[in-house]
Amino acid sequence: LSELEALMERMKRLQEDKEDEEASQEEMATRFEKEKKESLLVISGGICALPAPFSFDDEIVSTDVSRYIEDPGFGYKDFARRGEDHLPTFRAQDYTWENHGFSLVNRLYSDIGHLLDEKFRMVYNLTYNTMATHEDVDTTTLRRALFNYVHCMYGIRYDDYDYGEVNQLLERSLKVYIKTVTCYPERTTKRMYDSYWRQFKHSEKVHVNLLLMEARMQAELLYALRAITRHLT
């Protein structure tokens, strides 16, 4: 099967499995923890199989962006150290954008919550219902996997989501691309862009980038607004 046909087959099989039997809460929690730990090993240019004696700085060619920023050392840091047994988890049910973050940010800056919410919803729901040459395709499962994988990288878990879907729908090259775009955008290359979903249209791959950026922004807002809420209370 081609990359496209294989992906569509996995999407169909996931839907059938979901209708037949749902995973238990314990199974979904285990799958999230596995995906969260593995996301720490995803690096630009490849996936490290083991946490040691791996050196992150040795694997990635750094891009000089110091002339654009005041602090050249400022950059993304993983939310936990590789090899740790118990990684921190932000349970989305305890602090959600819809129920908590939206109202708080509106209090802090009038109407900005409505603008942000509209932006999140528009990008998430944006679809032509196509996958390359196939039409009338429900891409909800795939869009949700992309969005939730970004949040997973930031330690955010949705109790009602089966993270086994992420591992089945997002192949290695795409995970590498996702982490690079969301965490180290200055290191993104055309080679990485071309390495995943080769049969897809550019408009579909651009939508992936928009979805990743909005997922990252919402994740950052959740952490910041939760901290403000704790400070206020």
Measured over the CA atoms of residue 29, residue 34, residue 40 and residue 43, the dihedral's sign is negative
pLDDT of residue 81: 65
In this prediction, residues 170-189 reach a mean pLDDT of: 90
Of the given ranges (37-51, 120-134, 183-197), which has the lowest mean pLDDT?
37-51
AA letter at 231: H
Residue 191 confidence (pLDDT) above 70:
yes
pLDDT in the model for residue 55: 34
Q: Kindly report the pTM of this predicted structure.
A: 0.85
Token pair 């993304």 is at which residue? Answer: 76
- By CB atoms closer than 10 A (0-12, 13-18, 19+), residue 97 is buried
Mean pLDDT of 129-136: 93
In the numeric block, the tokens 């509209």 are attached to 118
Report pLDDT digits (tens) over 10-23: 999 998 887 777 78
Percent of the chain with pLDDT over 90: 62
The predicted pLDDT at position 87 comes to: 79
Dump the DSSP string for 182-232.
Answer: HH-GGG--HHHHHTS-TTS-HHHHHHHHHHHHHHHHHHHHHHHHHHHHHHH
- Cα-based distances in Å from 218 to 6, 41, 125, 233: 31, 23, 15, 22
The Cα–Cα gap between 208 and 195 comes to: 14
Q: How far apart are the C-alpha atoms of 78 and 41, rounded to whole Å? A: 10
Which ranges in 40-153 belong to alpha helices (H)?
Answer: 56-59, 102-108, 112-125, 140-153
**What's the pLDDT score for residue 22?**
78
Beta bridge partners of 131: 134
Region 201-220: what's the mean pLDDT?
96
Chain mean pLDDT for the chain: 85
| Average pLDDT for 145-157 | 95
Question: pLDDT (tens digit, 9 = 90+) per residue, 51-109?
Answer: 333 333 334 445 566 666 677 667 777 766 666 667 789 999 999 999 999 999 999 99
Preceding peptide of 53 cis, ω within 30°: yes
* 197: exposed, middle or buried (Cβ count in 10 Å: 0-12, 13-18, 19+): buried
CA distance 207 to 132: 13
User: Hey, how many other C-beta atoms are within 10 angstroms of the C-beta on 231?
Assistant: 7
Q: Give 48's pLDDT tier (boundaries 50, 70, 90).
A: very low
Alpha-carbon dihedral sign for residues 221, 222, 224, 226: positive
The token duo for 31 is 């799958």
Residues 153/179, Cβ–Cβ less than 8 Å: yes
Separation CA 8–CA 15 (nearest Å): 11
- 183 or 19, which is more confident? 183
